[in-house]
Amino acid sequence: MRTFLVAFSFAITLSVSAQENRGVGYATVAAAMEALRARGDVKISVQDGWTIIEDRSAQAFWSFTPQGHPSHPAAVKREIVSRDGSLFIDMSALCEASKAACDKLMVEFKELNERMSQSIRAQGESSKAAPSSEIQVESLGNDSFRLVLRSFRSRTVDAGQEELLPKAREVCAGKEVGYERYEFETIDGVSAGAEMRPLVLKQDIRCGVPSPRPPTVSTGNRDSSWRPTPAQSQLVERQTYAFFAAKDGRKYQEAYALLSAAQKQTIPYERWSSLADDFNSKVGEVRRRTIKKVTWYKDPPNSQPGVYAAADFSSEFDRAAAHCGYVVWSEQPDGSFLLVREEQNFLDKASEAKLKPVDRERFRSQFGC
C-alpha cells in the first residue's frame, strides 16, 4: 500500500502559496475517521457517498472518499486560516490509493478551492460596490419611533430588521426594543444589466415594551397552515436564554439538563462541560446574547415527526470579535422542549486584527455573524 501526503494553501484573494507539509495529523485514513467520529463537537454528514466532517472550532472541513472511489481510501482536510491580513484555504491530504488516482484527486480539490476562492472574492467585490445603508429616525411619541432603512445589503424583511437593531437599541437608550408594524418595498432586477435597487423598510418600534414578531415557519412543512402557539414561542425563547445564562455562568449541570437523551448519549457530561468551559475561557465575559429569529418546523422531512424550533443567535464577549450560531429544540410529549443540536462560530479579536476589513465582512457573511 502506498501512502501520499500532500499540502497546499489557497488564498481567498486568489493567490497561491506553498506551505510546510504538515499532513493531516493521523497515520492512516481509518485512524483519522475513527478519531473524528469519537469527538462530540464535530458535525458529520454524508453527501453523495462522501463523509464530510466539520470541525468549526478549528475552521477545518474533512472529506473522506466513499467506497468504490478510485482514490479510496483518502482524507482531505481544508482549513480557513488568516495570514498577513488575508484569508487562506490550507489543504492537506492523506491518500492510500495509487499515485495516479491520488494526483487526480488533488487536481479536483485544487479546482474546487479555486472556484470557492473566486466565488468569495466576487461576493466581496459586490459588497464593496454596494452603497452604504441609510437609516432615518422619526419620533411617533410615547416612546415610539419609526425607523426607515434604505439598504443594498439586506434583501429580506428579516435581514433588514436585523440591520436596524443596533440603531433601534441606540434610539431606545438601554430600554428593550419592541418591533411593531412595518412596511417594505424591494425591486430585484431580472436582466443581467438591471440597476440595483435598495430594500426600503419602514419599521415602527416601541421602547421598553418588547413585542414578539410573528414566528417564522419553514416553507418545507407538510402542513403549510400550521403555526406555533404563543405559549410555545414564549417557552422556546425563555428556555434559549436560560440555556445561555447557565452556560455563561458556568452552571454546566443546569445547561446540560436541557439536552435531549440522544444528545447526552452522543456527548457525555464530562466532555460537554469541558468544551463549554474551554470556550468560556477563550472568549471571556459575556456582554450580550440576542435571539435573532426562531424558525419553526412541523414534521420536517428526514427527521422524526414532531415540532422543532431553530433559534438563530448572536453574542458579544470580551475577547470575541464575532460569535453566532443556532440551537434546535424538540418538543416533548409533555409540552416541554429539549435541545437536540447546537452550532456556533466565533472569531477572536486577535485573529480579526490581522484581517483586512473586506475579509472580516466575508467571515461574518460566510458564517452568518
Residues 150 and 245 in one domain: no
Residues 123 and 224 in one domain: no
Q: Give the mean model confidence (pLDDT) for residues 302-322.
A: 87
CA distances from 132 to 127, 135, 153, 278, 369 (A): 10, 10, 8, 38, 19
Q: State residue 123's pLDDT score.
A: 54
Q: Is 156's pLDDT higher than 80?
A: no
Residues 149 and 50 in one domain: no
Q: Is 187's pLDDT higher than 50?
A: no
Domain-ending residue, one of 129, 150, 183:
129
Does residue 212 sit within a domain?
Answer: no
Q: Is 171's pLDDT higher than 80?
A: yes
Q: State residue 366's pLDDT score.
A: 62
Residues 22 and 108 in one domain: yes
More confident residue, 28 or 79: 28
Q: Give the mean model confidence (pLDDT) for residues 66-70.
A: 89
Kindly indicate the confidence band of residue 148, based on its pLDDT and cuts at 50, 70 and 90: very high
More confident residue, 360 or 300: 300
Q: Across all residues in the chain, what is the average pLDDT?
A: 79
Among residues 108, 120, 90, the alpha carbon closest in space to that of 17 is found at 90
126-135, 189-198, 199-208: least confident range: 189-198
**Tens digits of residue pLDDT in 6-24:** 444 333 332 333 333 356 8
Domain-ending residue, one of 84, 102, 129:
129
Q: Residue 175 is part of which domain span? A: 134-207
Q: State residue 15's pLDDT score.
A: 31
More confident residue, 9 or 116: 116
Residues 326 and 300 in one domain: yes
Q: What is the 3-state secondary structure (H, E, C) of the chain?
A: CCCEEEEEEEECCCCEECCCCCCCCCCCHHHHHHHHHCCCCCEEEEECCEEEEEEHHHCEEEEECCCCCCCCCEEEEEEEEEECCEEEEEEEEEECCCHHHHHHHHHHHHHHHHHHHHHHHHHHHHHHHCCCCEEEEEEEECCEEEEEEEECCCCCHHHHHHHHHHHHHHHHCCCCEEEEEEEEECCCCCCCCCCCCCEEEEEEEEECCCCCCCCEECCCCCCCCCCCCHHHHHHHHHHHHHHHHHHHCCCHHHHHCCECHHHHHHCCHHHHHHHHHHHHHHHCCEEEEEEEEEEEEECCCCCCCCEEEEEEEEEEECCEEEEEEEEEEEECCCCCEEEEEEEEEEEEHHHHHCCCHHHHHHHHHHHCC
Q: Is 250's pLDDT higher than 50?
A: yes
More confident residue, 179 or 35: 35
Residues 189 and 292 in one domain: no
Any idea what the CATH number is for the domain that residue 222 is in?
3.10.450.100
Number of domains the chain contains: 3
More confident residue, 305 or 12: 305
Residues 48 and 88 in one domain: yes
Q: Which amino acid is at 123?
A: Q
Kindly indicate the confidence band of residue 347, based on its pLDDT and cuts at 50, 70 and 90: confident
